[in-house]
Amino acid sequence: MDTNTPTRTRREPELTFSSKELFDLALAWVTLSVAFALFIEPVHSGEADIQHFVLMVGLSFITVGVAFLLHELAHKIVAIEHGQIAEFRADYQMLFLAIMIALLGFLFAAPGAVYHRGQITKRENAMVALAGPVTNHLLALMFLPLLIFPDPLRTIGAMGVTINLFLAAFNMIPFGPLDGKSVWNWNKGVCLLVFIPSLTLALLALVEIGLFG
């Protein structure tokens, strides 16, 4: 997700990362990977052994972590290209909540957002918002060919496709701080054109790939 705070500032595009931003990105990456692993392999309840849990953390780091990281970086890059000052900030309370909810057997992921400021139009803000879900769709396509191979490549492919399509659909919901709201405010037709296929593909992935079944 991304959050816009308009000001009068506009500067030349410059992709840089502060130490605080790098720390937040790394923390969110690791936390989401562990939360997802706890959800799939609940070692804390005795339903999975430590070996399978550690393996799932590694697989989640490759799939869930990459999906999150590139989603947020896409927001940042497109925001900078539109003259914004943009940085990712983790929400520590939401990261803690993600772990706690995973321990209860549910999945929740709202790790933070790319905050950007500067003069920007509704259309430009929508392009920044769309960058994340579109990136997830592209990543899903990249993971798709792995489904034809045996494990562990097939598992990586299944996780990569499912998680990326889920993130795209979830973030395109036109509500609150989610990406879909910015797109909805600019053009409702474009929002629905992206959201409906995203949701449909996510549901198909859950049913056909059977990651959670």
Catalytic residues: 72
For β-strands 2-5 and 112-117, DSSP reports them as parallel
Element (H, E) at 115: strand 112-117
Overall size of the chain counted in residues: 213
Q: Quote the CA–CA distance of 105 and 45 in Å, as a whole number.
A: 10
Q: Quote the CA–CA distance of 91 and 76 in Å, as a whole number.
A: 17
Cβ atoms of residues 182 and 116 within 8 Å: no
Q: Quote the CA–CA distance of 88 and 76 in Å, as a whole number.
A: 8
For β-strands 112-117 and 85-90, DSSP reports them as antiparallel
Structure tokens that stand for 203 in this block:
């549901």
Cβ atoms of residues 83 and 119 within 8 Å: yes
Which residues 6+ apart lie within 8 Å of 199 measured at CB? 169, 172
Structure tokens that stand for 103 in this block:
């321990």
Q: Burial level of 39, CB count in 10 A (0-12/13-18/19+)? A: buried
